[in-house]
Chain A
């Protein structure tokens, strides 16, 4: 039984109280990571951080987060690589991924969605609060309405 299946039977609201919803933020910019991490922690999520693509994959496998916020331009393996590898791996392929990047052309969006991302958000076009709302919405859709 994978971690996700175990979690999917428990309502997110009760998990939230126990700081058990794990959000993995894969972002190389320290400042953006801190702002987003701070906001998520304040909302009651447990925040895991990864500084590059390889670390992102490693942490996804070891920690089994409930949702991943993934940057595309990363040192080493880029976001597309990470996304592709995660979606290929049956152990973690069901974890929803929100791509959070400053790329944002149609090709970028189409490519990320085709690789299996749930949503594509351009950093400069969304406030941290809007990102939190998107995280909540996707968690609800993914784990509650099943």
Chain B
């Protein structure tokens, strides 16, 4: 942030010093003039009086110049002495704000600023320790989830394969009642598999290992394909799923197709899942002025006000959905948000209870995608 000159410490010191210098000057001038008027003016000739006045003016002008020079010089010295360490501390504070806690300020002063510097170092050290501890906890947690999830997948696949082997009739004819039960068991098993899958993705997002592979892709074809794919799921739930496409040709962007399918798919799934039977979920695609927007609108129950701000957090499920549906994993929107943001896009929603919800995803069009910025966390070392 650039400071205006009249807001700087230098300017303030300068004016203070000028005032201090000019005040005695003005007082002395006042007394001189008063003395001259009352005692001298009528006793000397006008030529001598003029000369005296001129001498006095020159004298005062020179003193004033001298005050200005001294004030500038002293203001510069004093303000630099204070503002230089302050600038260093400001820079360090800015880095801490950005998340870089490798700060080392070498404190050689013993005054108030030196004190501030020591406390600053202490604070940065403490913050760094907390940050490291949290990173370690997060890493352990993610590692645990990864191992646990892989261990869970084996029994889940055994169940899945067994159910399907029975349902395929490979081990004899299955009576209808038994078939129904096994189908139900398989639905539950599938939701466990989905949960494990989402858990793994969420863990990878947190570990920062959720890499993206950006390729040129046509969002229009992508969305048509995705909506067609989801139609079967919607039909099973007696929900109408429609696509409103206002584009006229291919819409090329740079994106990770698989991840985007997961993100947009999760939102469509949610919309279908939480819309009562005979509802409508509409997906629309708009593209103009290099801006791309996908909207997923449903006329379901809406999201209660109190649930709205936590919607994108992990494992968060709106209260109202708990007793309607048990299928959601509470991770879909967390993953969707991360994927959209990984594409430099944004995701938000509008919801009105009883009327429905609209989710908006906006993505940068081809060419406007910025490469992810790699922050370098070099240690900041400076003297104050």
Out of B153, B164, B200, B213, name the residue touching A105 (CB < 8 Å).
B200
Contact of A42 with B170 at beta-carbon distance under 8 Å, contacts A29-B154, A102-B157, A106-B211 already known: yes
B153 touches A102 (CB 8 A): yes
- The answer to the question of A113 belonging to the interface, with a C-beta cut-off of 8 Å to chain B, is no
Please name all residues of chain B whose beta carbon is closer than 8 Å to the beta carbon of A35 when the two chains form the complex: 158, 161-162, 165
Q: In the bound complex, what is the Cα–Cα distance between A29 and B154 (angstroms)? A: 9
A127 touches B161 (CB 8 A): yes
- The answer to the question of B86 belonging to the interface, with a C-beta cut-off of 8 Å to chain A, is no
B165 touches A38 (CB 8 A): yes
B193 touches A125 (CB 8 A): yes
Closest B residue, CB atoms, query A127: B164
Please name all residues of chain B whose beta carbon is closer than 8 Å to the beta carbon of A122 when the two chains form the complex: 153
Secondary structure type dominating chain A contacts? helix
Q: In the bound complex, what is the Cα–Cα distance between A73 and B193 (angstroms)? A: 19
Give a binary string over A32-62; 1 marks a CB under 8 Å from any B CB, 0 the rest.
1001101100100000000000000000000
B158 touches A29 (CB 8 A): yes
- The answer to the question of A124 belonging to the interface, with a C-beta cut-off of 8 Å to chain B, is yes
Out of B150, B168, B204, name the residue touching A102 (CB < 8 Å).
B150
- The answer to the question of A103 belonging to the interface, with a C-beta cut-off of 8 Å to chain B, is yes
- The answer to the question of A118 belonging to the interface, with a C-beta cut-off of 8 Å to chain B, is no
A124 touches B196 (CB 8 A): yes
The A-B contact count (CB < 8 A) is 54
- The answer to the question of A4 belonging to the interface, with a C-beta cut-off of 8 Å to chain B, is no
Please name all residues of chain A whose beta carbon is closer than 8 Å to the beta carbon of B160 when the two chains form the complex: 124, 127
- The answer to the question of B156 belonging to the interface, with a C-beta cut-off of 8 Å to chain A, is yes
A32 touches B157 (CB 8 A): yes
Tell me, rounded to whole Å, the shortest Cβ–Cβ distance linking A35 to chain B: 5
Kindly name the residue among B156, B157, B158, B211 whose own CB sees the greatest number of chain A CB atoms within 10 A.
B157
Please name all residues of chain A whose beta carbon is closer than 8 Å to the beta carbon of B162 when the two chains form the complex: 35
- The answer to the question of B197 belonging to the interface, with a C-beta cut-off of 8 Å to chain A, is yes
A124 touches B170 (CB 8 A): no
Tell me, rounded to whole Å, the shortest Cβ–Cβ distance linking A111 to chain B: 13
- The answer to the question of A128 belonging to the interface, with a C-beta cut-off of 8 Å to chain B, is yes
Q: In the bound complex, what is the Cα–Cα distance between A123 and B151 (angstroms)? A: 12
Out of B150, B168, B193, B211, name the residue touching A103 (CB < 8 Å).
B150
Please name all residues of chain A whose beta carbon is closer than 8 Å to the beta carbon of B170 when the two chains form the complex: 38-39, 42
Q: In the bound complex, what is the Cα–Cα distance between A29 and B193 (angstroms)? A: 19
Kindly name the residue among A29, A36, A125 whose own CB sees the greatest number of chain B CB atoms within 10 A.
A125
26 contacts between A and B (CB under 8 A): A29-B154, A32-B157, A32-B158, A32-B161, A35-B161, A38-B170, A39-B170, A42-B170, A73-B150, A102-B153, A102-B154, A102-B157, A105-B204, A106-B211, A122-B153, A123-B161, A124-B153, A124-B156, A124-B157, A124-B196, A125-B193, A125-B197, A127-B160, A127-B164, A128-B168, A129-B164
Q: A105-B209, A124-B197, A127-B164 are in contact. List 8 more A-B contacts (CB 8 A).
A: A35-B165, A102-B150, A105-B200, A107-B209, A107-B211, A124-B153, A124-B160, A124-B196
